[in-house]
Amino acid sequence: MSSPIGVGDTLPDFVVTDHRGQTLRSADLRGKWLVLFFYPKDNTPACTAQACSMRDQYEDFLRLNATVIGVSADSDQSHESFASRHRLPFPIVSDKGGQLRKLLGVPKKWFVLPGRVTYVVDPTGVVRGMFTAWINVQQHIKNAMQTIADAQPDAQPK
C-alpha cells in the first residue's frame, strides 16, 4: 500500500470508470471541490446510510461547487442496482482490485475490511479534509460540508 494521502497533500492522478460507464479523470475534476468517499460494501446498513446521507445533502454539495463520488470494491452491476434502489445522483466507482484505495493509502479496518474514508479535495487538487469514522457515517457528510463551507464562506449551503 502507498503512504496514506493526508491533509495538505495533492491528490494523485487517477482514471476510473463509474457505474454508468463514464470515465472519470482526477485532472478533469479540478476547478471544483471533490468529495471522494470510500465505503466497504453496497447495501449494508452503515454504507447505505452513508450513501443516502450523501444523496440527501447532494444539492447542498452542488451549491458549494462540489462533485461527489462514491467508491467501493463492489461490481458495476452492484453499484447500478444500489444507485437505482436508493436514487443516488452521484457516480459510484468500482475499485474491484483496490487500485484506487492503494493509490490513496486507504487503510483497512482490522486489517481485513475495506476502510471508510472521505476525502475533501479543493479545486486545485489539494486534500483539505480527510475523515475516518467507521460507525458515525453522518459525521463524514457534516465534516465534508463544513470543510468546504469554511473555505468559501460566501457559498454556504441553504
Distance CA 30, CA 122 (A): 8
Give the angle 43-49-62 at the CA atoms, nearest 5°: 110
3-class DSSP assignment, residue 6:
coil
Q: Of the residues 5, 34, 47, 66, which is catalytic?
A: 47
Other C-beta atoms lying within 10 Å of the C-beta of residue 109: 12
Residue 52: active-site member: no
Which residues are annotated as catalytic? 47
